[in-house]
Homo-oligomer: A and B are copies of this chain.
């Protein structure tokens, strides 16, 4: 399976595209983009200079954010794939995070592009588990594990907020 052409996040509905981490309509946000690359999902992101922890390295919250949003996007893409229909078709399949685990293996340099790769560990019912690595110049700096669940109906109704 080749790399997909359209980012997962560019197939979210307008209503669900305001997330600071991954929403294409959030002008102040990170606007990450995730794709299939064979059986894995991949996202590239270059931190901004103010995303520092100790000078020269990326702060942990950004790493958590990238892993979180890339994983919920991967969960949605995997759920569409399992349902046998194109991403973006109705009813929308969107996931929220039930739990997030990040292991910080080594300091992540600030001045290079980061690569996050996700693998679907399990997909069952309303739950998808995604594991991931975050690497800088080929060196894995963090590992993640996200338990994603289908977004509750009450969150998905524009009139409710």
The reply to whether B100 and A20 form a contact with Cβ atoms under 8 Å apart is: no
Q: Could you write out 19 A-B pairs with CB less than 8 Å apart?
A: A15-B54, A18-B53, A19-B59, A20-B51, A20-B53, A21-B60, A23-B52, A26-B50, A54-B96, A54-B155, A55-B161, A56-B160, A57-B155, A61-B62, A61-B65, A61-B66, A98-B103, A98-B104, A99-B104
A68 at the interface (CB under 8 A from B): yes
A11: chain B residues within 8 A (beta carbon): none
A158 at the interface (CB under 8 A from B): yes
A21: chain B residues within 8 A (beta carbon): 53, 59-61
The reply to whether B64 and A68 form a contact with Cβ atoms under 8 Å apart is: yes
Copy number in the complex reads: 2
Query: With the chains together, A98 CA to B50 CA distance in Å?
Result: 22
The reply to whether A26 and B52 form a contact with Cβ atoms under 8 Å apart is: yes
A64-B61, A107-B155 given; A20·B52 CB < 8 A = yes
A18: chain B residues within 8 A (beta carbon): 52-55
